[in-house]
Every structure is written in C-alpha cells, then in structure tokens.
Structure 1
C-alpha cells in the first residue's frame, strides 16, 4: 500500500473505532499529508512501514523552522498517533517517533471577559434586524452554557429540554452531555424562535437546526467568529476574543463563584480533569480564599 491507502485506513479507524469528529480527523490527516509533502519535495521514496526515525527527525527539524512550538508539538503528537495505529494493525513493530521529544510549550492561560464586558458585547447587538435577535440568543447560550462554537451551530430544537432545565449537547467525538440552561438563555432562545425563526423559510434538512442563517440553513463556525469580532470593534474592546472566550469566561466565573472543578468539567465536556484545571491559574485570590476558608490551620 502507498501512503494514501494507509491514511484512508487510518481515517476509518479514527472515525469508527475512536469515534472522532470530522474536524479532528482532518487535523490528524493534515499532519501526515505535511510529512508526505516533505518526502516528495526531498525525493525520499519510503512507505509508512519502512520510514525511519532519522527521516522523521529531519522532518521535525524542517517543521520547526516553519511553525511555532505549540504547532510543532501538535504535529509530532498527530504523527505519533498514526504510527501507533500502524503498530496496532501489525504493519510496524515500533514507533519511529518514540524518542523524538515535543518542544515544551507551557500551558497557555485562556483569555477571559468580565461580566461587564460580556454584558456590553451582548448589549451592542443590533436588535433592529432579524439576525440581531438570533445573535443575542446565541451569545447568551455561548456564555450561559459554556458551549464550543461547533456545539452551538449544531444545536437542535430537539436538544432543548427546558422543562427539565437542560440542553443536550453533542461535543467532540459525538459524545453527548446534558448542560443546565439558565432562565436568561431560555428567555432569549424562546424570543428568537417565536419572533424570528417561526417566520423563516427553512431549507430542507435544517428543520430541526436551532440557529439559522439568512438562507434557512445551519450557520458556519466562521460566521460566529465574525459576529463576535464585529461586536468587539463596536464597543472598542481591546482584546482578541473568539467564541471560545465566552466558554472560558463561563468556566472562570463559575470557579470564582465557588463551583467545584468536577462540576465544571462535566458541563464543559472535558474528558480529563487536568484539562479543566487550567482555570485554577486564573484567580490566585480565589485560591487564597479557599485556603483560608477550608484549611484546618488557617
């Protein structure tokens, strides 16, 4: 088999065996395709089964001159996963990247918004347009439920369980979780549905999609980024923000107000508590208060 065949089989494995999303699979595949391009440009003819650690080290050196440490670490991690798959399928007996270390990147602290900044962004939404009611509802859900942007655009009407106080969210790897939905988010979702969405012409196949674009179809992730970026410009916010900033702010504000990490982990849909622990770096004052309140020798 050539590289293309191995990559296709690997993609099937990621989808069927590991249940990863299309976006994640595309990212893993891009890392391998970058390696293939390097081999082609350097006239190196070798299969995934025969490639050596020396060749891969040369590729890593090549990559290090083009991308930052964080991207380099991600590429190495993606390739390690590919060669681990080849071992799993008995194509190889060793992982040629086993001894290649990823650059130390440190843990990047997420950007956050204050409650006043979030209020200002939402208040800046132009409610004179049909899209305004939709945008306000989306921002309230982003912050109120701590969703990823991909989870927001994929939200269905059938995912709303308002009587029970939850929404069903489909996260990474198509894993589903139930997230509490507050009264404010419920209010603006209902307002959007009753005053705007109910009068929209909905494209076939999107009848159950909650937030629709002007053509009656699902919004793109890029459109959500654009909406938020424009609002930041409108209020003169001197911060680089994205939809993920609302999610980070959701978790940070919960922690600051006394929520425990395990609860935040479940609401965010983090597989590991260590992913959620990054929020502990955000408010040293809060940690000091915890120590003074709960330690027996305070």
Structure 2
C-alpha cells in the first residue's frame, strides 16, 4: 500500500523534526502502523489512512488482542492514536478513527533492581587482567554512578567529561543534553581506563573522541554491553534477569531510598515528565515509615 508509505514517511519527518524524537522511538511508532497495514493487506482491505474507518481499525484491534498481551496491545493503540492525531492535525482527516478505542488497563511494571551488594559482586567479577576488563569496570561504574541509558553510555565523548566541575554532559533522547554529577571514584576508574588502556590501543578514524571503544578502536554497540552484563550475571550465578537498564533503575531506586528528591532524580535521569520518574516510588512501607518519623515535624512526636 504505497499510499500508506507516503503518509508514514511524512509522519516520521514530523516526529523527528517537530517532536525531536530519537530514531529508536520513531521506529517503534512506525512498527505499530505497519502492523495495521499488514493486517489490511492480509484481509484484502484496500483503504487509505485518510479513509479508514473506526470499524476497520476496531477489527485490527480485535485481531491483535488475541496475539499480544495487554501491555503490548496498549502500546500499539497508543502508537496508532498518535499517527491518526497527526493526520487530523495536518488536516488530512476531520476526525480520528481511534477516538472511541480505549487503551486496556495494565498494571504498572515495577523495574527490576539490584542491591548494592549485587552490584559490587557483578563489578567484582570483572577480570581486570585484560584491557577489556578495565574498560568494562569503568563502564559499569558509570552506568550505576550516573544512571545512564545504554545508548548514552556508548555515545559518551571524552569532550563530555567535566571532571574538574564534577559533571559529565549526557546526550539523551531527542538529542537533549543534561549535566549529571559523577563521583570521584567513578572519575578515577574512567581516568585509569582512558590513560592506560584506551590511549594505548588503536583508535579508528572518526572515534577519536568516543570514550568507550571496542578492540577494533570503534564505538561499542548496545548489544555488546548487554552481553558483558549477561556474562557477569552468569559468572556470579545471579538469578535475576538483568540488562544495562537495571543499573539505571538501581541508581534511581537507591537515591530515592536514601532520601533524594524526586525532582532531582528526574533531572539526572533526563525524564521529560515527572510521572515517568514516579515509577521508582516502589518503596516498602517500612522505609516510608522511617522517612515519616525522621523528617516530618509530627513524625516522632510522642503522645
């Protein structure tokens, strides 16, 4: 359906230029629309994005409901709502066929976290007798110390390090930049790797400023960081399923448990909305009671 591809292409440009979304996010939005297009093709329903009806979209929703869980269904519906809202915004349509379609209610999934002991065990399992070991230790310390996304970690530049001021500059989603504090100990690990490992290896053209490099002197891939963490988890026999994002979740959770302000955590994580950060409010009641008794004027008042 070539007609769909024209509208999808325009929509992708809108997401990139007007909303400043990352390539990964745009791909996810596009994937949701392409699911609908494939459904229409398989059922020989020849209709354009401008003419598709709410009944035809509803038929697609019924179809996917039998194939995916509520969370995936919710994401697909949200993606389609965004696409058709764009068509209305650009005056291609007068209304959206998604208006009467409700997003299924799903329980909010709490992020997996690691304890400080588990993080110490993982990092302690790294073989520091190899050049890659020193690099991996610096990377994981940075992930946990600064709460970075894996994409932010692998794209970190030497020119982004402002150690004298105690910050690093991070380029996040939509190329939005933020400054994140970095601890002296993490600075030390990075300096050790940079001065004694990285600068003594071969560095490919175009990667002179990239901080973390692979053996060939190029930027690491996301998949490589996932593999490093997975191998360490196996090495210490960790039963949890973890990823680079687990270190980010742990960063936020540990800050919150130790009394950090939610707004400060939001800024460090680079969340656009405070509601995204609020998912980390899964503290146990005992901790909340301790916070109340310690910090509220009436918390520890005796009768």
TM-score (normalizing by structure 2): 0.96
Deviations 1:126-166 (A, max 9, x none): 11211111100000000000001111011111111001100
Q: Is the 8 A contact 1:169 1:176 kept in 2?
A: yes
Is 2:248 aligned against 1:247? Answer: yes
Q: Which residue of 1 aligns with 2:16?
A: 15
* Cα distance in 2 for residues equivalent to 1:44 and 1:21: 32
Q: Is the 8 A contact 2:150 2:225 kept in 1?
A: yes
Q: Which residue of 2 aligns with 1:48?
A: 49
Q: Which residue of 1 aligns with 2:208?
A: 207
5+ residue gaps, structure 1: none
* Cα distance in 1 for residues equivalent to 2:285 and 2:230: 29
SS in 1 for 2:108: coil
Q: Residue 278 of structure 1: CA displacement?
A: 1.4
* Cα distance in 1 for residues equivalent to 2:68 and 2:26: 20
Q: Is the 8 A contact 1:145 1:179 kept in 2?
A: yes
Deviations 1:105-130 (A, max 9, x none): 11111111110100000010111211
Q: Which residue of 1 aligns with 2:238?
A: 237
5+ residue gaps, structure 2: none
Q: Residue 289 of structure 1: CA displacement?
A: 1.6
Q: Is the 8 A contact 1:109 1:282 kept in 2?
A: no
Q: Which residue of 2 aligns with 1:276?
A: 277
* Cα distance in 2 for residues equivalent to 1:282 and 1:103: 26
Q: Which residue of 2 aligns with 1:143?
A: 144
* Cα distance in 2 for residues equivalent to 1:106 and 1:136: 35
* Cα distance in 1 for residues equivalent to 2:207 and 2:283: 39
Q: Which residue of 1 aligns with 2:109?
A: 108
Q: Is the 8 A contact 1:121 1:232 kept in 2?
A: yes
* Cα distance in 2 for residues equivalent to 1:182 and 1:119: 16
Q: Is the 8 A contact 2:257 2:283 kept in 1?
A: no
Is 2:286 aligned against 1:264? Answer: no
TM-score (normalizing by structure 1): 0.98
Q: Which residue of 1 aligns with 2:171?
A: 170
* Cα distance in 2 for residues equivalent to 1:274 and 1:75: 21
Q: Which residue of 1 aligns with 2:80?
A: 79
Deviations 1:160-199 (A, max 9, x none): 1001100000111111100000011101100100111101
* Cα distance in 1 for residues equivalent to 2:64 and 2:214: 39
Q: Is the 8 A contact 1:256 1:283 kept in 2?
A: no
* Cα distance in 1 for residues equivalent to 2:64 and 2:38: 12
Q: CA RMSD in A?
A: 1.1
Q: Is the 8 A contact 1:148 1:247 kept in 2?
A: yes
